[in-house]
Amino acid sequence: MTESDDILAIPLWINGHAYLTMAPAFFDVCDARSGEVRRRTPLCGANEALAAVESARQAQPAWAARSVEERAGLLAALADSLAGYGEHFAGLIAEETGVDPTLAASEVKMALSVLKAVTTAAATTADSGVVAVVSDDRAPLLGSLGHAVPALLAGATVILKPSPKAPSAAFALAELTARCGFPAGVVNLLHGDLAAIEGLCAAAGVSVLYFAGDPALGARVAAIAARHGKPFRD
């Protein structure tokens, strides 16, 4: 057994639980300050993307059938839970991105503001169906939530695809949704790089693809979406 065999892979989150997969490759997630490998991100492809999409697709009708007030209440519960684990989330962000702990804590606070700013009126302006959100490592928590929250409020189910460099905040967030009572399949997490994005764009069940992060990477993601005829927004 090699030293790398002892390093745990970050699971996906599909249908309300951690989802392990034998990915063809893994990305080493390092402590940005020490360079030490902390965990590994599975670099998934079409099969895992389809599993996440199917989970979201099956959960969407029942989620949309709930009242806006019910969905807003669950998002408020998620805000309360995130606030309780704010220091933990900030630590994950600082470790994987290398930002100053103060800036990491600020990102958590901004993410809380997004969750707490939910209004039922906003539900009429967001996308519904199955929404995929791709984000880079600039804002591992805020980038995903900025697009996911309005979609969830509107009755969409979501698939988060964080950067393989900084996957832990998104996984911890998915865990919190389950603890807060979100139905299985409403929030899903897919890991990977461009192959995972290809899988999401090729899936007929995905209504729209969002991107949050560096414009240069966003242009590459937009090109993948265009090739598959998938609506893209940033």
Residue keyed to tokens 């969002």: 210
Q: What is the largest CA-CA distance in the chain?
A: 56
pLDDT given for residue 22 in this prediction: 86
Burial zone of 26 (CB within 10 Å; 0-12 exposed, 13-18 middle, 19+ buried)? middle
> Where do the structural domains in the chain lie, given as residue ranges?
3-233
> How far is residue 198's CA from residue 27's CA, in Å, rounded to a whole number?
18
Q: pLDDT by residue (tens digit) across 178-218?
A: 999 999 999 999 999 999 999 999 999 999 999 999 999 99
Burial zone of 24 (CB within 10 Å; 0-12 exposed, 13-18 middle, 19+ buried)? exposed
Q: Are 58 and 185 in contact (CB under 8 A)?
A: yes
- Among the listed residues 223, 165, 167, the one whose alpha carbon sits nearest the alpha carbon of residue 190: 167
Q: How does pLDDT run along the chain (234 residues), one tens digit per residue?
A: 334 567 889 999 999 999 988 888 999 999 888 889 999 999 999 999 999 999 999 999 999 999 999 999 999 999 999 999 999 999 999 999 999 999 999 999 999 999 998 876 566 556 779 999 999 999 999 999 999 999 999 999 999 999 999 999 999 999 999 999 999 999 999 999 999 999 999 999 999 999 999 999 999 999 999 999 999 998
Which residues lie below 8 Å from residue 34, measured CB to CB, with a gap of 6+? none
> How far is residue 114's CA from residue 30's CA, in Å, rounded to a whole number?
28
pTM of the model: 0.94
Protein fold of 3-233: Aldehyde Dehydrogenase; Chain A, domain 1 (3.40.605)
